[in-house]
Amino acid sequence: MFKIGDVQINNRVVLAPMAGVCNSAFRLTVKEFGAGLVCAEMVSDKGILFNNEKTLNMLYIDEREKPLSLQIFGGEKETLVEAAKFVDKNTNADIIDINMGCPVPKITKCDAGAKWLLDPNKIYDVVSAVVNAVEKPVTVKMRIGWDEDHIYAVENAQAVERAGGKAVAVHGRTRVQMYEGKADWNIIKQVKEAVNIPVIGNGDVQTPQDAKRMLDEIGVDGVMIGRAALGNPWMIYRTVRYLETGELIPEPSVREKIDVCILHLDRLIALKNEHIAVKEMRKHAAWYLKGVRGNARVRNAINECNTREELVNLLRQFVEEVEAKQQSDAQAV
């Protein structure tokens, strides 16, 4: 358990913000699997200020997801402050997070995302302006630095703390690394030792045991899980249980995976519409099926489907096939 400002987080497992993934449909599903805190996908400050309909829809939060951290991105103090004020007054988010980690050129060339990491003074300036403009606690999610010659993680986190930020999440890679190489947990440890606000460690937590190792060895307050939760909310549940009891519960059956995939699909349809949801769900369905033997054919078919009925039929049929195969294999032994 830890606190971000006045917001109580009931366990140390945090769902990472992921663009195109962490909308209300997925977040609620992950929350039901026990996440202490869920983070929303990044939202453009300018999109909010220009009343862009798609952007404003991204601000929807179901009460059952709370506590929730809503992330904004932008490259200018003024627009970030105005967007933060909007989120503060018009959403039921508990925490406002500023993105200082996105490595994508489209974002960094506007001075947003990881570009902030090059200047702790600018970080201090923008975070204090946002903190002074809103009531909700403000946090920052950052990478360790821009490249290996510019790793200012400690200075940057200290700037966040001095500016009144209430926590930092640190992904142990530089901007230049994108998602390559290994996350450097030692630098996360240096950050933890240098600030008094909560530090959430992130990067390469693939198993419940990794999460425990990060908490024990790095001493972070929370552990943030991204890619390992794609199509796999059980990762969150298994990690929470492992940290609480030491018990490593088994991976779900294919039937369980498909049932949750369909629940996720139905939530996405309710959030968007069938056409958009089914298209978006293609990638999620592939993630839910990852590692299940013989999934190549069904994955190809999923990529062609356009309606809920088609997608659900494919998934249900696949479960039947897998279970029939499992039964015949068991009889053959």
Which residues in this chain contact ligand FMN in the complex, by CB under 6 A? 16-21, 41-42, 71, 99, 101-102, 141, 171, 202-205, 225-228
CB 226 → ligand FMN: shortest distance, Å? Answer: 3
Shorter beta-carbon distance to ligand FMN: residue 162 or 287? 287
Tokens of 227: 């890619």
CB 204 → ligand FMN: shortest distance, Å? Answer: 5
b/e for 136-162, b at 16 or more Cβ within 10 A?
bbbbbbbbbbbeeeebbbbbbbbbbbe
Shorter beta-carbon distance to ligand FMN: residue 84 or 102? 102
Hey, is 2 helix, strand or coil?
strand
Task: Determine how β-strand 7-9 pairs with β-strand 2-4.
Answer: antiparallel
In angstroms, the CA 153 to CA 159 distance is 10
In angstroms, the CA 326 to CA 101 distance is 44
In angstroms, the CA 198 to CA 235 distance is 23
Catalytic residue among 102, 110, 261, 305: 102
Question: Closest residue (Cβ) to ligand FMN?
Answer: 226
- How many CB atoms lie under 10 A from the CB of residue 51? 9
The answer to whether 102 is a known catalytic residue is yes
What are φ and ψ of residue 327, in 5° steps? Answer: -65, -45
CB 45 → ligand FMN: shortest distance, Å? Answer: 13
Shorter beta-carbon distance to ligand FMN: residue 229 or 322? 229
Shorter beta-carbon distance to ligand FMN: residue 120 or 231? 231
CB 113 → ligand FMN: shortest distance, Å? Answer: 8
Provide the β-strand partners of residue 170. 142, 201
**Annotated active-site positions, please?**
102
